[in-house]
Structure 1
């Protein structure tokens, strides 16, 4: 009888010890996952903020160059340089009056030329465009699948000339890892 009671007590201690060990392992795994998520989130936030700076630079480029006769040539040179020196930048779009007229790289994106962003039937896109125009801020869109298993996000900014004259939109599509 004493032997059985001892076995029961040992079994209960072993069972309790295993429960404690399992909960400790789970807690350690949670901490590791939280640290990894925080690190990746910080890296993604930093990458997006760097791309926002590029979008602000594109806005400044439009404000100084849009009225020139050779704007398309200047845009292509500027965008080629920007694209070549920035990893994770999928494409660059300029849409005077909300209509896509310039895109880099042009190859493979010809189907987007002439697309009117102001009259789009895509609800999320239309809301983002309206918000960019109303707030004059950079608006980050929802993630989109623009090719097979290639994801990105669009950052959009309204361009205003001479203070309050809406000129159009500048957009960059940022690759997501």
Structure 2
């Protein structure tokens, strides 16, 4: 089992099926918060949906095509962060994440994004890390900005959320810029 301890409060663990109940309860308790920016929340209606997501994540990891880790804060499940959209030709990878509402504002996701960015550059030898956020999701946008990512542009109607298209901001970091 992959486990990475970020500090005394935060650790990452690869998702496994025994996490399904904890993850589903977290989603269920924070639906209104998560629904605003995550299109999958309304289709996650049972623990079996969460198990299906975890199984897909495990297949993704086995295929060496990214992964999802759970984030635990002081022993409590707080959210998920992972690598998605891998382009091996140009050595580019994107990070996606979400936090339960009760854990927002503690610096948890900034620490987790920093660790994954460092891992992408120094272990996986990628050249580029990208983060995409809905344009009005200021809390999510603050994370790449805090880490020094460059705002590269806006994708108009870049995501369909709750039946409405929203613009998305793209942030990028290059290996040579990462300190």
TM-score (norm 1): 0.30
Higher strand share: 2
Structure whose CA Rg is larger: 1
